[in-house]
Amino acid sequence: MLENIPVKELMLFDSESRRIYLNDKRVILMEADSLGALRRDLIAALGMDRAKAFLLRHGWDHGTNAARTFKSFLPMGKDADWLYAGPQIHEMTGNVRVEVSVLHFNPQTKAYYSEGFWHHSYEAEQHIKHFGIHHEPVCFTLVSFAGGYVSEHLGRRVIFKEIECVGRGDPRCHWIAKPVEDWGDDIQKELTYYSEDHLAIDLDKAYVRMERQKEILGQVLAIYQELARALLQQEQMQSVMSVLGRHLSVSIAFEDTSFRLVESYGTYREHRLSDFFQSNASRRAQLTRLRRDHQTIRLAVPQEVGWAHERLMAPIVVLNKVTGYLSLIKETGDFDEIERLCLKQAAIVWAISMMNERAAAKAEQRVKGQLMDELLIHSGNPESWIHRLRALGYAPDRPHRIYLIDIRSPADQAKGGPIDLSRNGQLPSEQQHQMIEMALPAVEKYIPSPMMSVHQDHFILLVPSDRLEQLSMTALTFGQILARDLSQECSGRMVCVGISSPQYHVTDYKRGYHEACKALATARARTSQPAIVSFEDLGLLARLAQDGDTEELRYFAFSVLGRLVQHDARHRGELLKTLYCFFEHKGNVLATAREMNLSAGSIKYRLQRIEEICHVRLSRAHDFYNTYQALQALLFLGEIKWQHEGLPNLPVPRF
């Protein structure tokens, strides 16, 4: 074997001519990157199929010549010795490390079978470097070198074939070798690449291909110009898809980050692309390159996920975050360099368009937020407000209502309490924008380009009264529908809405905001979710406190329920909760018991204790009404905060 052959002694470096010889055959040293660049240029000039055929024939000739060269000066007479020495000769080139797992050879019948692995294939490394992961094995010169070498010694044609390849995204290169006759139909497609076309014919064909590409370049330029026009004119995404689809004669799909279809052009069938990516390690690796490395990938999607098709897929990256995927789709066939370039350009245009839209939305929202702050919270020039509202498309001379919307998790709700109108703390602008983006789709279904902002951690919405008339909705009905839609958008969160009375002038909006805050404080006490309260529904209490004089109201409330508040505080009791729930269910003891998960007897006992502590009789209309109004006053004045232990949205005293 070759272990006993002094290979280094066979290498001769001629200092005068600067030539290198292996025995008497001249050899040269070449960097792997140079071969990789040659491979890149061949594929660019000839196309993948022609370049593959050229590299296979080149490797075959290399392997055949290597067999003849070594056989001419190494002392091994048996064919079996030469076959076993093949992997070592292959390794001498530095192309790969060879691991043979199976080798069967019959000298009499010339039967042959071998199987093994290649490690550190230069060819796979170079292909990935220049083209990324391919959908087929790429070690063309390695399989053909091995095939040419073995065929020369065996005297019959043996074909090596990769069944796994690092260049395809597999963990290793795994090959099988058999005579042509033993392969049957499995090798017929590969054999066409080994045909004896002369390089000149390939070059002629490449020349024709290049001429054709010159013609196509005009089409590519036209595509780029149309994409640029779509970007400059801020056209819809469908326009970008139409440009690609018409010029490239392919179908286009835009999918979100969960691979759900958003828009399409041409043929598209429902299928489970997410299942495809999770089906094996190789496909998961492709998904990683798509999501993490932001690379364009080529997919052959099988029928098993619902639709067999070929796909070229590029991520749409905005601020280094993948926001969706743009794909070219064919029923069959590969994708050429022109299609790859156009897809990448379209993905960039799409990303820029999304960035522009986000920047414009943020700028508009910032303007609206500043104006809303002036209208509702701070002071300013009413004439300036009117001018700016009109510039934003609003009619300030028409009545509006203020909607204050609270969306919280149960944990946040437990920390809630009454709204502090004097607090000026604001969320960071980016977080405000995220909150607006979350709620905007639900609002825009009914109010085009809404006047909406975030103050503290609440949404503020300005709703024209005439828009509610157009929708044939009352203010309360619209609040209920809006709360329902927001609950669906923000599953698991609690939605409360406070609504002001109609405000007829911009100088009234600040009072309207205070009205909405009072209504929201009451809404958050409701047991049902979502909870909506209009300021007008607060009735007498709201009117009594409208001018800010709440001392009489507070005195009345504590004169009726003060002893009960103190009792619950001292004993950590739930009598206030019981009373609230009793009123919510219109004095129905059984409904109250069901709500609080207690027996009717327990509720009756608690009501009796309430009557004893407060010196009232709830069976008398006067006492029932006064007690109800006192509890509502405590809620209205913010003397009770809410937390969710047991029953949702029930009050406990705050001191």
Q: What percent of the chain has pLDDT over 90?
A: 26
Of 622 and 324, the structure prediction assigns the larger pLDDT to: 324
Average pLDDT of the residues in 581-609: 90
Pairing of strands 97-105, 25-27: unpaired
The predicted model gives 21-34 an average pLDDT of 81
pLDDT tens-digit series, residues 105-135: 888 888 999 999 999 999 999 999 999 999 9
Is it the case that residue 650 has pLDDT exceeding 50? no
| Inter-residue contact 242 to 257 (CB < 8 Å) | no
Predicted confidence at residue 409, as pLDDT, reads 64
C-alpha distances (whole Å) from 464 to each of 377, 400, 545 are 19, 4, 26
pLDDT (0 to 100) of residue 79: 65
Task: Break the chain into its structural domains and give their ranges.
Answer: 2-197, 211-356, 377-538, 551-653
Check pLDDT > 90 for residue 450. no
Q: Give, rounded to a whole angstrom, the gap between the first and last alpha carbons of the chain.
A: 94
How many helices (H) and strands (E) would you count in the chain?
25, 19
Q: Which residue has the tokens 């003891």?
A: 589
Q: How far is CA 334 from CA 252, 309, 509, in A?
A: 15, 11, 62
Q: How far is CA 444 from CA 100, 400, 432, 450, 536, in A?
A: 66, 17, 17, 7, 25
CATH code for the part of the protein at 2-197? 3.30.1380.20
Q: Name the more confident of 189 and 9.
A: 189
**CATH of the domain spanning 377-538, picked from 3.30.70.270, 3.60.15.10, 3.40.50.720, 3.90.25.10:** 3.30.70.270
The residue among 512, 517, 452 whose CA lies nearest residue 482 is 452
7, pLDDT greater than 60 = no
Q: How confident is the model at residue 44 (pLDDT cuts 50, 70, 90)?
A: confident
Amino acid 519: pLDDT: 85
Tokens read off for 624:
């029932």
pLDDT band at 21 (very low <50, low <70, confident <90, very high): confident
Confidence of residue 643 (pLDDT cuts 50, 70, 90): very low
CATH class of domain segment(s) 211-356: alpha beta
Share of the chain above pLDDT 70, in %: 84
Q: Per-residue pLDDT tens for 48-98? A: 888 898 899 999 999 998 888 877 766 666 666 777 777 887 887 788 999
Q: Is the dihedral of CA 565, 566, 572, 578 positive or negative?
A: negative
Average pLDDT over residues 608-621: 90
CA distances from 400 to 150, 370, 394 (A): 88, 18, 10
CA nearest neighbour of 335 among 134, 196, 184, 166: 134
| Number of Cα atoms under 13 Å in the Cβ half of residue 530 | 30
Structure tokens at 330: 């064919």
Q: Tokens in use for 67? A: 């067999």
Highest mean pLDDT among 139-143, 220-224, 414-418, 479-483: 139-143
Q: Would you say the C-alpha torsion 335, 336, 337, 339 has a positive or negative sign?
A: negative
pLDDT(502) > 60: yes
Angle at 637 between CA 405 and CA 462, to 5 degrees: 25
Whole-structure pTM value: 0.43
Res 317 pLDDT > 50: yes
Model confidence over 549-591: pLDDT tens digits? 567 778 788 888 988 988 988 888 889 989 989 988 888 999 9
Could you read off the pLDDT of 191-214 as tens digits, one per residue?
888 876 655 666 676 677 777 767
Select the CATH number that applies to the domain covering 551-653 from these four: 1.10.10.2840, 1.10.8.50, 2.40.340.10, 3.40.190.10: 1.10.10.2840
Instruction: Give the pair of three-digit tokens for residue 63.
Output: 């392997």
E strands, 123-260, where? 158-164, 173-179, 251-255
353 or 311: which carries more pLDDT confidence? Answer: 311
- Average pLDDT rounded to a whole number, residues 291-319: 92
Average pLDDT along the chain: 81
Alpha helices in 475-599 (DSSP H): 475-489, 509-523, 540-544, 551-571, 575-584, 589-596
